[in-house]
């Protein structure tokens, strides 16, 4: 069944690929990005041209996840044009690479503002509509780093862990309203995304110099990641877009809470399953088992 989908951070990478995959699958897709008239104008035009060429309902909308008014305006535009909003794909995010001590509190605050608070702003904009309708899907693009905790990515790991925790607790509270939660958990990719090339670095250069003996390890981080892939494997982020499309094609109430798309064989699925069992047992012992599953018609 086709639905109206908002995707955050759709200018490049996983968000862009997901917009293309979902539009091809027949959904009405609002690919959102910041600064449509400026640096992202070409990305927006590429998506619109694809829609025109292939007869897809692929649209773009301005949305800066660091601005609550921007999130509210984007959702209002969608509701005005499409009349409803069925699914939000929380994809917007940024990567920091460097030594934790060298990141200033302001550096980390900016990253959390995008990777965690951005989700909260968009959810606050969409949830009143979804609660009123008694249906909807919140799909979060997480990260295996929340489980494997790699070095030299401390602020990023912390921000993605915070986003994951927000998603889980929000799920308990929106399940009774018929709003389903899915967390798609990608592993790392070294092609098809600008995550590594566009990564930010620590603001305190002097503190970074104190860790100079580790610089060679940081310099080969992308190479080390690539070495984890099985030779000949097509480890491309389009697999994440395809998994999102597969999940949204499932009937409401049957979608997995988590789905891992990882080509590095990090064993994240085992950790997630153990965590799920522990959480469900604890929530049940608290007497809140009715919050564990989405209410369906």
Q: Which of 156, 172, 211, 288 is catalytic?
A: 156
3-state secondary structure the chain: CCCEEEECCCCCHHHHHHHHHHHHCCCEEEEEECCCCCCCHHHHHHHHHHHHHHCCCEEEEECCCCCHHHHHHHHHHHHHHHCCCCEEEECCCCCECCCHHHCCHHHHHHHHHHHCHHHHHHHHHHHHHHHHHCCEEEEEECCCHHHHCCCCCHHHHHHHHHHHHHHHHHHHHHHHHCEEEEEEEECCCCCCCCCCCCCECCCCHHHHHCCHHHHHHHHCHHHHHHCCCCCCCCCCCHHHHHHHHHHHCCCCCCCCCEEEECCCCCCHHHHHHHHHHHHHHHHHHHCCHHHCCCCCC
Is 140 a known active-site residue? no
Active site residues: 156
């Amino acid at each position: 069944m086709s639905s109206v989908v908002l995707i955050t951070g759709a200018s490049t990478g996983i968000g862009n690929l997901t917009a293309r995959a979902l539009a091809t699958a027949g959904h009405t897709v609002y690919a959102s990005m910041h600064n449509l008239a400026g640096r992202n104008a070409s990305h927006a035009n590429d998506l619109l041209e694809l829609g025109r060429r292939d007869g897809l309902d692929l649209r773009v909308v301005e949305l800066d996840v660091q601005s609550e008014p921007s999130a509210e305006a984007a959702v209002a535009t969608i509701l005005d044009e499409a009349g409803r909003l069925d699914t939000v794909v929380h994809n917007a995010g940024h990567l920091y690479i460097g030594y934790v001590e060298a990141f200033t509190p302001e550096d980390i605050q900016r990253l959390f503002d995008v990777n965690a608070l951005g989700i909260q702003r968009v959810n606050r904009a969409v949830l009143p509509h979804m609660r009123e309708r008694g249906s909807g899907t919140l799909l979060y693009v997480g990260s295996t780093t929340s489980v494997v905790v790699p070095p030299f990515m401390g602020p990023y790991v912390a921000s993605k862990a915070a986003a994951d925790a927000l998603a889980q607790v929000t799920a308990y509270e929106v399940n009774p309203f018929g709003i389903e939660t899915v967390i798609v958990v990608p592993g790392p990719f070294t092609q098809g995304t600008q995550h590594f090339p566009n990564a930010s670095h620590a603001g305190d250069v002097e503190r970074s110099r104190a860790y100079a003996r580790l610089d060679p390890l940081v310099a080969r981080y992308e190479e080390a990641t690539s070495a984890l892939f099985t030779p000949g494997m097509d480890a491309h982020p389009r697999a994440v877009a395809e998994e999102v499309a597969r999940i949204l094609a499932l009937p409401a109430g049957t979608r997995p809470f988590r789905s891992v798309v990882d080509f590095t064989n990090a064993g994240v699925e085992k950790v997630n399953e153990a965590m799920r069992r522990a959480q469900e047992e604890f929530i049940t012992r608290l007497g809140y088992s009715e919050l564990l599953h989405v209410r369906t018609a």
